[in-house]
Amino acid sequence: MVHKTIFLYFCLLIGATANATSGADGAMDSATIDKVADPIEKGLAIAAEGDRRDFGFEDYTNSLEMTLRNRHGQETTRRMRSKTLETKEDGEKSLIIFDEPRDVKGTAFLNFTHKVEPDDQWLYLPALERVKRIASSNKSGPFMGSEFAYEDLASQEPEKYTYLYIKDESFDGREHWVIERDPVDEKSGYTKQVVWVDKEEFRVWKIDFYDRKKSLLKTLVFEDWQQYLDQYWRANSLEVTNHQTGKSTLLLMKNFKFRNGFKDSDFNRNSLSKAR
């Protein structure tokens, strides 16, 4: 694990490179990044540029359909709504509300992502009429029976990982960087993640997750990307497959609407029990 001060050191290195070889806003294109020789600096540059390109969306809402499949192919489908708020000084805030089926209707999940500190997460269970805080030690657990862990639902802030460029790889007609990112949080359920990022738009297309025993646990595939406001890319399909259990979860997202004017007060513990 690498301390945040080392992360900031590499940020300074990248900032110096960006000022010398790219635009005044610090933007780096794929050609500039490909000239970076050090694999640690290059891996971080890829992640930092992807994060920079997604900044400024302010907020958005969308609807979700989550299909859980067991190893025998039997399916259960859940429908939800979500809203997300971007913050300038920290990570994102998000609220997910379950609408169907009836046994989970009204369940709500609130997430505050932090750039460095552990994320804050709460789950409202209408049957119990209580709000449950998700402890840091439990964030590697499954979210509502799916193959997504609680920690997967947080925004992927660059500060949460250390990085290493591995190689270039082509598939589906696209050129990708393959990078390794290792969680800084020692309570993470993962020892490392291998990420495929396209060179054209810095979109993530695939992530391999390795468990605490350093074995391949699951693969998350992103598909059907769509651009909004001429800048912000969102994948409409996310499918995660657990290689150890044979289970999978397909998450379909649609009806994205940006810049709704949300406020911090729309994302607090009181909003969980009032979510409709």
Q: For residue 240, how many other CB atoms are within 10 A of its CB?
A: 21
Global confidence as pTM: 0.88
The answer to whether residue 28 is domain-embedded is: no
The answer to whether residue 265 is domain-embedded is: yes
The answer to whether residue 23 is domain-embedded is: no
User: When comparing pLDDT for 25 and 73, which is higher?
Assistant: 73
How many structural domains are present in the chain? 1
Full residue range of the structural domain in which residue 74 is found:
59-276
Work out the average pLDDT over 60-89.
Answer: 96
Q: What is the pLDDT of residues 23-59, one digit of tens each?
A: 445 688 999 999 999 999 999 999 999 999 999 999 9
The answer to whether residue 44 is domain-embedded is: no
Counting other chains too, the contacts that 124-130 makes at CB distance below 8 Å and 24 or more residues apart are 124/272, 124/273, 124/275, 129/273
The answer to whether residue 41 is domain-embedded is: no
Per DSSP, what are the bridge partners of residue 240? Answer: 220, 249
- The pLDDT assigned to 18 comes to 40
Percent of the chain with pLDDT over 90: 74
User: When comparing pLDDT for 275 and 98, which is higher?
Assistant: 98
What's the CATH code of the domain at 255? 2.50.20.10
Q: What is the pLDDT of residues 184-237, one digit of tens each?
A: 989 999 999 999 999 999 999 999 999 999 999 999 999 999 999 999 999 999
The answer to whether residue 157 is domain-embedded is: yes
What is the DSSP annotation of 76-92?
EEEEEEEEEE--SSS--
The answer to whether residue 78 is domain-embedded is: yes
**Residue burial 57-96, b: 16+ Cβ < 10 Å; e: rest:** bebbebebebebbeeeeeeeebbbbbbbbbbeeebbbbbb
The answer to whether residue 218 is domain-embedded is: yes
Residues 6+ away with beta carbon under 8 Å from 128: none
